[in-house]
Amino acid sequence: MADAPRNPAPYTEADIHLIQRIIPHRYPFLLIDKVRDIVPFESAVGIKNVTFNEPHFQGHFPGMPIMPGVTIVEAMAQTSAIVVGISLNVIDRPLNTFFMSIDNCKFRRKVVPGDVLELHCKVKRGGGKVWKFEGRGVVDGQVAATAEFTAMMDLHSDA
């Protein structure tokens, strides 16, 4: 990733179209709808509008739909990948993000259809291939989940 630009792109928000220009995730695994308050190399807040139509609710759990904890952490990671994409100005360049570790992960509240999940993500260390983040999932002002995670960023070309 040595050829990645270091001049941040001039975005403080990312709608679904910009998100798809930065990360490769698509239905059914694109887990963020919008990212706001983007501060390159520092932080952002992802937004996930949780709906009953999502495929994991068929089995998790019938009659009591709860967003799986691993998908909450994945949504944090996708939000963090948008911070990286904006920070390194790699819009329209394929950016893969691979988990390396997840630490201190805790779930404190159910996330259910109808909730708006805010994913508050902060960069703890970054700038090269390996980035470390802390994330907090919040619904109606209540913390639903927290985690620290490390990811490797891989710019790849299909050429």
What letters, b where the CB count within 10 A reaches 16 and e where it falls short, cover 97-122?
beeeebeebebeeebeeebebbbbbb
**Residue at 94 is within a domain:** yes
What SS3 class is residue 83?
helix
| Domain extent at residue 60 | 16-155
Quick check: is 6 in a domain?
no
Q: In which residue ranges of the chain is pLDDT below 70?
A: 1-5, 156-159
pTM of the prediction?
0.93
**Is 60 inside any structural domain?**
yes
Residue 3 lies in a domain: no
Assess if residue 124 is contained within a domain. yes
* 2 within domain boundaries: no
pLDDT at 5: 60
Looking at every residue in the chain, the average pLDDT score rounds to 93
Assigned domain for 7 exists:
no
What was the pLDDT predicted at 115?
Answer: 98
Number of domains in the chain: 1
What is the token pair recorded at 81?
């990948």
Confidence (pLDDT) at 157: 52
1 within some domain: no
Cα distances from 68 to residues 56, 90, 113, 150, in angstroms, run: 8, 30, 12, 20
**Residue 17: active-site member:** no
Q: Which of 17, 25, 60, 120 is catalytic?
A: 60
| CATH classification of the domain holding 133 | 3.10.129.10
Q: What is the pLDDT of residue 159?
A: 40
Looking at residue 64, its pLDDT comes to 96
Q: Give the DSSP H or E segment for 30.
A: none
> Can you give the pLDDT at residue 55?
94
H or E element at residue 156: none
Q: What is the pLDDT of residue 57?
A: 95
Please, what is the end-to-end C-alpha distance for the chain in angstroms? 16
145: Cα separation from own chain's centroid:
13
